[in-house]
Amino acid sequence: MAHVNVFDTTLRDGEQSAGVNLNRLEKVEIAKQLERLGVDIMEAGFPASSQADFDAVKEIADTVRGCSVTGLARANKRDIDIAWEALKGGAEPRLHIFIATSPIHMTHKLKKSPDEVVEKAVEMVAYAKEKFPHVQFSAEDALRSDQEFLVHIIEKVIDAGASVINLPDTVGFTTPDEIGRLFRYVRENVPNIDQAILSTHNHDDLGMAVSNSLAAIENGAGQIEGTINGIGERAGNAALEEIAVALEIRKDRFEYETGLVLKEIKRTSDLVSRLTGMQVPGNKAVVGRNAFAHESGIHQDGMLKESTTYEIITPEMVGIDSNRMVLGKHSGRHAFKQKSEELGFFLNEERLKEAFDSFKALTGKKKEVTDDDLFAILTDTQTENQDQAKYELKAFQVQYGSINRPTATILLTRPDGEEVEKANTGEGSVEAIYNTLDDLIEADVHLQDYQLSSIGKGRDALAEVHVQLTVDGVKASGRGSAQDVLEASAHAFLNAVNRTLYRRTQEAYQKVQV
């Protein structure tokens, strides 16, 4: 079977989802999991966009050795130079350079003629090739571009050194038959196309990203681009887990395979969902919580007699293990460490102790600690900036009743170590807590979004809260979990504030260094 490369852009295009704001530790944790998943190419970010993105891309390139790490760059020397500084320590440095090729983009955005666009693309690909062993060229908005012009610019950039040609459906406009015809046309009309791999990158605005990706593969694409859970700009990208499982289940139709380790899919999906705050819908294909649930009596009867009557994908295929080892209050540190590694977390001794202490505290409140509970504990431990000066919740109390106005009293430690206490009210308990925290925090904070969910099932399940704030005009996201909904709400609020504080501290330090 023909091998199709998997180009994951969760950390670049996926992070462009509205409200998503990953810090460096979170990006590195996702990168390590993507490496375990077996992606061929990992787009770690856009190094020239900010110092924070540069730092994250550089650390990922220096850390990940099992795949090629790439970064995005516009067609200019500054972007390319910055990307090289971030990526040069990688196992297989690669650059992803793009320029728009559709008439609407060239006219209104670039304000360049087609000849000027070709000249710029060729010049910058050649410049990038002097540094990078692999250069990928993307014709932005390719599906709305003139096909003869595409053939012309593709031939020229391949001659200049591009080894991968990406034809993205940037606005999610195309259909499977249209994208199939385009890939056939390019393959048949670009004379030097045998010197490059064709890649497909599809957005999901019309709900056809996965179908379009499969159609492109059938018509000559040797690389698929997408994200975990399909996250990304607007309606998102093609979901890589859906494409990989479709190729596996429908081998009779698709004579192609990827190198993805399918058993790592669920774990990767859960990690991305938790760190981005973008919950996976229950009916989401492959990884949704209802993907393997059967409510209908007819379906249940068929499943009991023969599982394949209604189940074409087994839970085990994507990493959902029904034979899980359950930990409780009598479980020791060795069993905890083993379980942590099974869940994909390899913590140093200091962080392992911290996570184990959190686990033991939880066993005093819950009879059984589930994999979902452990995943939350381990994720928070692994992605926390331990050396950061921050706001820390010391104690809180909420008075509430159906005939009383909710009042929250909070004791907080500020970043300078000072303990402060205040009380305030609100129309509800969460609002009372947030009004009080707003009084205690030395910044202008506004809540933009609040989401509450449970981790696992049952009345003793952990509550998880995701918030989006603006802190002195800067957007920030935060998450918090606890058995108490109000405590989880407070932790999420402070987490968002602390992330902003940390980012400012890093930026100030970098300015001093410069």
| Annotated binding residues for Mn(2+) | 13, 201, 203, 237
3-state secondary structure 53-84: HHHHHHHHHHHCCCCEEEEEEECCHHHHHHHH
* Farthest-apart Cα atoms in the chain, separation: 78
3-state helix, strand, coil in the chain (%, to 5): 45, 20, 30
* CA dihedral (126, 40, 43, 232) positive or negative: positive
Distances (CA, A) of 93 to 42, 61, 129, 204: 11, 8, 11, 29
Q: How far apart are CA 143 and CA 124, in angstroms?
A: 22
Residue ranges for the known binding site are: 13, 201, 203, 237
C-alpha distances out from residue 356 to 155, 208, 245, 359, 464, Å: 57, 44, 35, 5, 20
Distance CA 276, CA 477 (A): 9
Q: What is the DSSP string of 146-158?
A: -HHHHHHHHHHHH
Which stretch of DSSP H or E encloses residue 125?
helix 114-129
- Measure the CA angle with vertex 219, ends 213 and 225; round to 5°: 30
Cβ-contact 291, 311 below 8 angstroms: no
**8 touches 28 (CB < 8 A):** no
Is the separation of the CB atoms in 285 and 239 below 8 Å? yes
The two three-digit tokens of residue 330, written as one number: 């009598």
The dihedral built from the CA positions of residue 453, 454, 457 and 458, taken in this order, carries a sign that is negative
> Contact 167/143 with Cβ under 8 angstroms?
yes
Please report, in angstroms and rounded to a whole number, the separation of the first and last CA atoms in the chain: 52
Beta-strand pair 445-455/462-471:
antiparallel
What does the alpha-carbon distance between residue 235 and residue 188 come to, in Å, rounded to a whole number? Answer: 32
Tokens 């440095």 identify what position? 93
Neighbour count for residue 394 (Cβ, 10 Å)? 11
Residue from 382, 276, 260, 375 nearest 12 by CA? 276
**Six token digits for residue 214:** 């499969």
